Amino acid sequence: MKVDVVDELNNPVNGAIVRTSVRGVNESLIDARVLQEGRTDNFGNITFTFENSVLIDIALYDNNNTILDSASVFAETKRKRGRTDNIYRTKLVVR
């Protein structure tokens, strides 16, 4: 899953904090590979990889740990043979 973080003028945001989570579930019950976080690169991109299909929330945070934007995404794993890509994209905006 690729997340693009942009500002209100659609310019990429470098170093933005992005985290995945699963709503309404105790974190001790979730595979740690589903709960991920990181910062965007110079192009405002961050990529998360999941081994199985997941229904997750993706949130953009500021340095005070306040959510700036979020999205819920169902990322389904590749099912068809011969398909070379399985990239889902979503965009979050710093306002």
- Mean pLDDT score of the chain: 83
Q: What pLDDT score was predicted for residue 28? A: 55
Q: Is the torsion defined by CA of 80, 78, 90, 6 positive or negative?
A: negative
* Domain boundaries of the chain, sorted by first residue: 2-80
Q: What pLDDT score was predicted for residue 27? A: 56
- What are the tens digits of pLDDT across the range 50-60? 877 888 899 99
Q: What pLDDT score was predicted for residue 19? A: 94
Q: What pLDDT score was predicted for residue 86? A: 57
Helix, coil or strand: residue 29: helix
2-80 CATH pick, 1.10.10, 3.40.50, 2.60.40, 1.50.10: 2.60.40
Nearest C-alpha neighbor of 49 from the set 38, 41, 59: 38
Which residue positions in the chain have pLDDT lower than 70? 24-32, 77-87
What is the residue type of 28? S
Q: Residue 68: phi, psi to the nearest 5?
A: -95, -35
Any bridge partners for residue 45, and if so which? 4
